[in-house]
Each structure stands twice: as structure tokens, then as C-alpha cells.
Amino acid sequence: MSQQNIYLDYAAATPISKAAQLAMQPYLTDQFYNPSATYLAGREVKRALETARSAVAHWLGAKTSDIIFTAGGTEANNMAIHGVMAANPSGNIVICSIEHDSVLLPAQQYDVRIASVDKSGRINLEDLESKIDENTVLVSVMYANNEIGTIQPITQISKVIEKQRRNRNNRLPLYLHTDACQATNFLDIHTSRLGVDMMTLNGGKIYGPKQSGALYVKAGTILSPIIQGGGQERGLRSGTENVPACVGFATAIDEAQQMRQSESERLQKLQKSFVDKLIQDIPGAVINGSQKYRLPNNVHVTFPGQDNERLLIQLDELGIMAAAGSACSASQDEPSHVLEAIGVSDSDAQASIRITMGRSTDHNSIDKTLQSLKNLVVY
Amino acid sequence: MSQQNIYLDYAAATPISKAAQLAMQPYLTDQFYNPSATYLAGREVKRALETARSAVAHWLGAKTSDIIFTAGGTEANNMAIHGVMAANPSGNIVICSIEHDSVLLPAQQYDVRIASVDKSGRINLEDLESKIDENTVLVSVMYANNEIGTIQPITQISKVIEKQRRNRNNRLPLYLHTDACQATNFLDIHTSRLGVDMMTLNGGKIYGPKQSGALYVKAGTILSPIIQGGGQERGLRSGTENVPACVGFATAIDEAQQMRQSESERLQKLQKSFVDKLIQDIPGAVINGSQKYRLPNNVHVTFPGQDNERLLIQLDELGIMAAAGSACSASQDEPSHVLEAIGVSDSDAQASIRITMGRSTDHNSIDKTLQSLKNLVVY
């Protein structure tokens, strides 16, 4: 990233950390052996893989065997949804209305019920509870939203589910899955404190390599695999393991969780100052998503009447990289289902930009961005 | 790989080539942007991705849009099988008896018919033809076997299928898929010369990065995606693209195909000399698989009465890395379905080792291996 540029799209992609990069290097080159091989060199690579697995498990308060390495968050979400639903064909699934497409689209292949959110993007717990019935086998709620940064009350949701489990008269399972791709940099991901049975992690959003990640699968949770073959990853994700990616991901999660409190505090201050000045200096600017339950790195703002495509191009010309909605759907030119769910009109959606901060973001970059926006947003 | 070691397990994993490694480097570090982003830096990464796609397409004689990047060969095989079968639920699938587990296991979820092979591992074309009926929508035959190296007559198989298509009275499709993971280093992979509709490629077996690869999907071939989300890879493989892996894979396939003829000739000579001496010097040694239609890097040999585990451990102690069967199933301790299909008894299977050569293999390494085997195989 060149010095003069200001990168504010950390929710779309993070640069790889030096430590993750260094950790990967030997497994990209000399230590290339297949971890299933029986010779010593292969067994050493296998050991590195299992050490990485155990480092990931540590932060989740999980058993090492609960960690299934995947090629990224999208695959892990698909594995959780299809894995449970294929194993329970008579069951239904309840998700939240602002889930990522990698949960929403797989869920739509089954009997899916959608719990609503309030105007800040927080899940309506009563509505969620009313959607769960005797045949619900899976509830999936994103820990923190990728577009508007709203954090969901996962612990409270897990209590709702615990109650439903106790009242149940049949033998169907009822699992709670959360997509923690955006949460991992800033929030507690300890699975038993949260009360989740499955959790999606994504290396590419936490300064690790792209298409690295994992699905946490609590012991006793029964999934059908979506990718079969050599039986790697406990039969849930076959394919020769991507050891450099697993090692890089483990290093990245370690760093991210170690610095999560200091980075949260640092970015929260930047966020507050940025938001305050946006509202004060740019007439009509509206912040979307919860002010209280929010990732510290996310600022999602509507400038009513403005065209976000123009704004983003002009920001880019000034060396400032930001986004409209999620990167995934950026090229699809569809209105965001997340903004729709929180009651943002189509025209306001098209006047909104997402600014997501990260480790390189400082006061200077925020000040320059604010100044640029003030110049560009013309009424 | 240390100098004194002799690596003879190239079918399980290849070291990454210098060129592939260098090509990946910028996208592992500075050029980390999400290729779906709209700012210039993102569009530049997208361009690198599309350049990689076009380099892969070149060797397949394919359109750029026919290349779907995947996280490795196993995923690509699963995508081909589930993709076609889910889109055609009334259809059946015909595979060969010595397919890799990543074809075999997905196929077993559907109405599957299995075409037999002869004692050399070559498919029985008459049996294959008899297994195809009006409702067959997919035929999947591995181009070159990962255990015994036998090469299948893909062009002839495509002619059988072409004939069946012409005789068909319904509107079901009939596609030909081939798993070319082991073939790419040594054989022609031009898809229209071969007559295939889908082809699996694997970067991790051609001196590219692990869990890189692609599924070639001929225009007009209709697949259901197995992984959904942001809609990347024409909606067939969602997830933020692993640009370094795609670029590394494209570089690797380019190198592999450029050197395939010279490497084939070089290794064929080594193979012949090795096989001749094995048979001559070690009483009872039997080569499995076709002598004529065979990958030039594969030597699969039975030493009747010997224990392959002991042999492999002793070879490893001498710095020689070889395998018993495929790496995937090495840890599963099951008899190989491939050896069973060609009529090798269980006890002979347990007396067999697979030696697969590659770019670092020379006369010295083969001579040392032969000498070691002569010392270790004791009657």
C-alpha cells in the first residue's frame, strides 16, 4: 500500500501481517510435504498443522478437534448450513434478516424462517423466539454485521435456544451457528461464553491469508460434509491441507485476539471523533446501524441525495479507498438487503458509503477523509 | 528439501516452483485488495486474477470464462459431480472403478454405475458404454490414476459419449468430466482435443500452491453451485478470491505444460531403467498398472511377502521418501480400491509401494533407491 494512500476498506480485505507472512513462508516453500504422508518430513508438516489447529482452538476455548480448517469464511458458512440441514432433512432453519449471502443463499435452499432486526440492525429476540419451532435444527446469526457493523447479542440468543432445547419433545438437534468473520478482530470469540455450537472464522479479514479460515464445530454436533474425498479435517473438508494458509491463519487469529482490546479502544476513539465530525460538518449525514452495539472500526453513513458511486470514485482519485456495502455484492449492483432490512430507502442506500478502519488507520487518515468528504458532498 | 534426501512422492505433493512463488508474492503482501472492490487498487488485483484465468484457459484451449478457480482438486471434483447431479436429480452417473475418492464418494450419493478396468487399470470401453443409458447425465473418468499411473483413453471415451448423445431421445444433458490432477505435468490437456466438458486441475500437484486449482466448465454446461455467497467465479464458487493462489497456479500450469514433453521424455527413461532393474534385481517384484499407457513418473511395485510399512519406514531412515497408495488414504489404513479393482490381493497390496518421480529426480536418486530396495527386500 503506497504511503500516500488511505485504505478504509478493512471489512473487505486486510493486508497480511508480517508475523502471519513469516509463519507461512516455510510451508510455502521447503516444508511442502503432504501432511498425510508417513515419512518424517510429512509428519513434521502434520505437526505444524495440528499446532496451528490448537492455537485457533485456544482463543475459542475449544478442543483442538473442534476446529475444521476451511478455504475461507464463505465455505465455512456453507458447511455449517448444508452440513446441519442435509443431516436433518425434516428440519427448518432460522436466520436473521441481515445475514451475509453465504448464509442467506444456502439457507434459502431449505425451509427457512427469517427473524427481523430493529432500525439499528439488532435482532428482535422475541421475533427470533417465535420463529423457532419443534423442527428447527439450526439458528444462524452473524456476530457482527459486515456492512453496518451492528453486533448481535449472541449470548442472549444462546439462552433463547437453550430454553427451546429444554422444552423440546423430539430428538432433533437445535444448534446455534454464528458467522464471526468481522467480529474476530474486536470481540470475544470464546465459544462457551458465547454459547455457540458452530462459529465461522475467516483469515482474510484478520490480517491472515485469503481463503484461510475455519469452522468451529462443537463436539457432538453432527454435520454432513459438503466436500468429500481423502477424509482430511475429520472427513468434513477433504483435500490436501493448505498448511501455509492454516499456519498463517493461526498466527493471525493469535495476533488479532491479543490486540483486540487495545485496537478496539484505539479505533473506538477514532470512530467517535469521525462520526461526531461527520454529523457536525456535513449537513444531513446519517449514521446507519447501532451506535451502541457496533464494531469499533465501522462507519456506515448516508449523505442523502448524493451518489455513492461518484463519491467513491472521487475519493479514490484522492487516494482514499472506501466501499459501498459489502465487497461481495459491490459488483452486483443490487440494493443491499441489509440496508433494506433496517429501513434505509433505495435512494438513501445509493447515497451511502462504508468506511472500515484497521491497523494502519490513524487521526491523520480520518482527518483527511473527513476533509475530502466535506469537499465532495455538495448540496 | 535437504540435499541428501530423495523425494519420491511427487504424486502426493510437489514443491512450489520458484516462478510460481515469485508470481504469488505481491498478492500475498502489498496487493492484498479485494478484487471485487471498485477502487483502482482493487481493479488492478482483479485484472491480475483475470490474467491468471486467461493463462490457464490458454493451455486448455478454453474460453477465459470457462475457468472456475477452486481451492484445489478435491473441491473441483466435488463441484463437477454435485453440480451436475443436483441440477439433474433424475439422472444417473457413470464413473470408473479406480476414480479418486473425491469423485467416488460424491458419486455414491446418487444413482451411480461403475465401469470396470482391466488388469492394467485401463477402462473397459464396452462396459462403460453398456453402463450409460438414457438417464445418464455425467460420466467421470480420471485422466491418469494417482496410484498406479494408468492413463485412460479420454478421446475414445468422448467418442462413446458423443455417440450416446446423438442416439438420445430426451433432453437430459450428457457431460464428460475428467480429473486431470495427475495428468497436467505430462499430458495434453487441450479440452476440445480430448472432448471433455469439465476438467479438474490441481495446483498442488504441478509445483503450484496447495489448495489452488480450477474446474474447467465448458460454456453451456449447467451446474448448481455447492458453495454460495458473494457470487464470485460466475456464482459457482463464492468467497473472496485467493488471488495469490490463482496467480501461482496459473504460473505453475504454464511451466508444467511448457516442460511437459521434455520432462516426460526425461522421466520415461528413468522410469524404464528403474523398472527394468527392479524386475531384474529383486526376485518376484511386480509392476502394477499399464506399462504402455502410464504416467512417466509413476512406478508402483509389489514385493510379494514384504510389508510396505516397514519398507517405507526403512527407506525414510535412509532419506528416501515414498508412499503406499495415495497420500489421502495413507492415514486411513484401508486397502486401496484401485489395487483391488486391478486384481491385486490384499496381501500383495500391503506389499506394494508407490514411487513417483519429479523435477528433482535424477539417475543418482533412482540408483540409490534401487540399491536401498535391494538391501531391504529380503526373502
| pLDDT-derived band at B379, boundaries 50, 70, 90 | confident
**Are the beta carbons of B256 and B206 closer than 8 angstroms?**
yes
| pLDDT-derived band at B97, boundaries 50, 70, 90 | very high
Over 80: is that where the pLDDT of A331 sits? no
B38 to A240: CB separation less than 8 angstroms, yes or no:
no
Give the residue on B whose Cα is nearest the Cα of A226: B226
Give the residue on A whose Cα is nearest the Cα of B322: A39
Residues of B in contact with A9 (CB under 8 A): 33-34, 37, 39, 42
Residue among B77, B313, B328 minimizing CB distance to A231: B328
My answer on whether A37 and A173 are in the same domain is yes
My answer on whether B96 and B129 are in the same domain is yes
In a domain, A1, yes or no: no
A238 to B42: CB separation less than 8 angstroms, yes or no:
no
Whether B31 contacts chain A with CB within 8 A: no
ipTM entry? 0.95
Helix (H) or strand (E) holding B144: none
The pLDDT, as a whole number, for residue A335 is 82
Give the closest-approach CA distance of B352 to chain A in angstroms. Answer: 14
Residues of B in contact with A200 (CB under 8 A): none
Total domains in chain A come to: 2
Give the residue on B whose Cα is nearest the Cα of A2: B30
Over 70: is that where the pLDDT of B329 sits? no
In a domain, B1, yes or no: no
Over 70: is that where the pLDDT of A86 sits? yes
A13 to B32: CB separation less than 8 angstroms, yes or no:
yes
B42 to A241: CB separation less than 8 angstroms, yes or no:
no
Residues of B in contact with A230 (CB under 8 A): 74, 101-102, 326-329
Whether A238 contacts chain B with CB within 8 A: yes
Please provide the average confidence, as pLDDT, over all residues in chain A. Answer: 95
**What 3-state DSSP class applies to B116?**
coil
Report residue B79 as a C-alpha cell.
463441484
Closest CA to B335 of A69, B211, B326: B326
The pLDDT, as a whole number, for residue A233 is 95
The pLDDT, as a whole number, for residue B293 is 98
My answer on whether B139 and B212 are in the same domain is yes
Give the closest-approach CA distance of A169 to chain B in angstroms. Answer: 31
Over 80: is that where the pLDDT of A334 sits? no
Task: Tell me how far the alpha carbon of residue B376 is from its chain's centroid.
Answer: 31
My answer on whether A253 and A331 are in the same domain is no
My answer on whether A227 and A357 are in the same domain is no
My answer on whether A81 and A37 are in the same domain is yes
The pLDDT, as a whole number, for residue B2 is 46
A329 to B211: CB separation less than 8 angstroms, yes or no:
no
Query: Amino acid identity, residue B224?
Result: S
Over 50: is that where the pLDDT of A1 sits? no
Residue among B101, B232, B323 minimizing CB distance to A230: B101
A71 to B242: CB separation less than 8 angstroms, yes or no:
yes
| pLDDT-derived band at A24, boundaries 50, 70, 90 | very high
The pLDDT, as a whole number, for residue A3 is 52
Distance CA A22, CA A248 (A): 8
- Average confidence (pLDDT) over A264-289: 97
Closest CA to A294 of A153, A124, A189: A153
Give the residue on A whose Cα is nearest the Cα of B208: A28
Residue among A5, A74, A204 minimizing CB distance to B227: A74
Range of the domain at B347: 6-15+260-376
Whether A372 contacts chain B with CB within 8 A: no
Give the residue on B whose Cα is nearest the Cα of A76: B227
Out of A209, A229, A258, a domain closes at A258
Instruction: Convert the pLDDT of each residue in A34-66 to its tens digit.
Output: 999 999 999 999 999 999 999 999 999 999 999
pTM of the entire predicted model: 0.96
The pLDDT, as a whole number, for residue B103 is 98
**Are the beta carbons of B121 and B338 closer than 8 angstroms?**
yes
Whether B378 contacts chain A with CB within 8 A: no
**Are the beta carbons of A377 and A282 closer than 8 angstroms?**
yes
The pLDDT, as a whole number, for residue B326 is 62
A38 to B74: CB separation less than 8 angstroms, yes or no:
no
Whether B241 contacts chain A with CB within 8 A: yes
Parallel, antiparallel, or unpaired: how do β-strands B286-287 and B298-302 relate?
A: antiparallel
The pLDDT, as a whole number, for residue A378 is 83
What is the full DSSP assignment across B237-285?
B-SS--HHHHHHHHHHHHHHHHTHHHHHHHHHHHHHHHHHHHHHHSTT-
Which candidate in B8, B70, B74, B310 is best for mutational testing of the A interface (most A CBs within 10 A)?
A: B74
Give the closest-approach CA distance of B101 to chain A in angstroms. Answer: 4
The pLDDT, as a whole number, for residue B106 is 98
Report residue A156 as a C-alpha cell.
442472549
Q: Which of A4 and A225 is assigned the larger pLDDT?
A: A225
What is the full DSSP assignment across A296-338?
TTEEEEE-TT--HHHHHHHHHHTTEE-BSS-HHHHTTT---HH
Q: Which of B 102-141 lie inside 8 A of A, CB atoms?
A: 102, 105-106
My answer on whether A245 and A132 are in the same domain is yes
The pLDDT, as a whole number, for residue B3 is 52
Report residue A104 as a C-alpha cell.
442467506
Residues of A in contact with B321 (CB under 8 A): 33, 37, 39, 41-42
Which candidate in B77, B205, B211, B355 is best for mutational testing of the A interface (most A CBs within 10 A)?
A: B211
My answer on whether B169 and B317 are in the same domain is no
- Average confidence (pLDDT) over B254-278: 98
Instruction: Convert the pLDDT of each residue in B22-59 to its tens digit.
Output: 999 999 999 999 999 999 999 999 999 999 999 999 99
DSSP 8-class letter at A290: -
In a domain, A314, yes or no: yes
Whether B50 contacts chain A with CB within 8 A: no
User: Assign residue A229 a region: left if phi > 0, alpha if psi is -120 to 50, beta otherwise?
Assistant: left
Lowest mean pLDDT segment, chosen from A209-213, A279-283, A328-332: A328-332
Over 60: is that where the pLDDT of B240 sits? yes
Whether B208 contacts chain A with CB within 8 A: no
The pLDDT, as a whole number, for residue B195 is 98
The pLDDT, as a whole number, for residue B332 is 55
Whether B232 contacts chain A with CB within 8 A: yes
| pLDDT-derived band at A333, boundaries 50, 70, 90 | low
My answer on whether A235 and A333 are in the same domain is no
Instruction: Convert the pLDDT of each residue in B201-224 to its tens digit.
Output: 999 999 999 999 999 999 999 999
Percentage with pLDDT > 90 across chain A: 94
The pLDDT, as a whole number, for residue B1 is 44
Over 60: is that where the pLDDT of A330 sits? no
Whether A28 contacts chain B with CB within 8 A: yes
Residue among A101, A313, A322 minimizing CB distance to B229: A101
CATH code of residue B334: 3.90.1150.10
Instruction: Convert the pLDDT of each residue in A102-121 to its tens digit.
Output: 999 999 999 999 999 999 99
CA atoms within 13 A on the CB side of B377: 24
| pLDDT-derived band at B327, boundaries 50, 70, 90 | low
Give the closest-approach CA distance of B69 to chain A in angstroms. Answer: 12
Residue among A71, A321, A332 minimizing CB distance to B41: A321
Whether A222 contacts chain B with CB within 8 A: no
Whether B242 contacts chain A with CB within 8 A: yes
My answer on whether A264 and A254 are in the same domain is no
> Catalytic annotation on A246?
no
**Are the beta carbons of A178 and A154 closer than 8 angstroms?**
yes
Beta strands (DSSP E) in chain B are 6-7, 67-70, 92-96, 111-115, 136-140, 175-179, 198-202, 213-217, 286-287, 298-302, 320-321, 352-356
CATH code of residue A189: 3.40.640.10
At which residue does the C-alpha cell 503432504 appear? A34
Whether B89 contacts chain A with CB within 8 A: no
Give the residue on A whose Cα is nearest the Cα of B34: A13
Encode A64-119 in three state secondary structure.
HHHEEEECCHHHHHHHHHHHHHHHCCCCEEEEECCCCHHHHHHHCCCEEEEECECC
Give the residue on A whose Cα is nearest the Cα of B229: A102
Report residue B45 as a C-alpha cell.
488485483
In a domain, B275, yes or no: yes
Over 90: is that where the pLDDT of B117 sits? yes
My answer on whether A171 and A300 are in the same domain is no
Count of pairs with CB atoms under 8 A, one residue in A, one in B: 255
The pLDDT, as a whole number, for residue A125 is 98
Whether B365 contacts chain A with CB within 8 A: no
- Average confidence (pLDDT) over A224-243: 95
Residues of B in contact with A40 (CB under 8 A): 316
Out of A207, A239, A258, a domain closes at A258
The pLDDT, as a whole number, for residue A336 is 92
My answer on whether A43 and A183 are in the same domain is yes
Instruction: Convert the pLDDT of each residue in B339-362 to its tens digit.
Output: 999 999 999 999 999 999 999 999
Residues of A in contact with B241 (CB under 8 A): 210-211
A38 to B330: CB separation less than 8 angstroms, yes or no:
yes
Out of B258, B289, B307, a domain closes at B258
Distance CA B30, CA B25 (A): 9
In a domain, A266, yes or no: yes
H runs (alpha helix) in A167-293: 191-194, 243-258, 260-281
Whether A231 contacts chain B with CB within 8 A: yes
In a domain, B160, yes or no: yes
Catalytic residue among A96, A181, A246, A328: A328
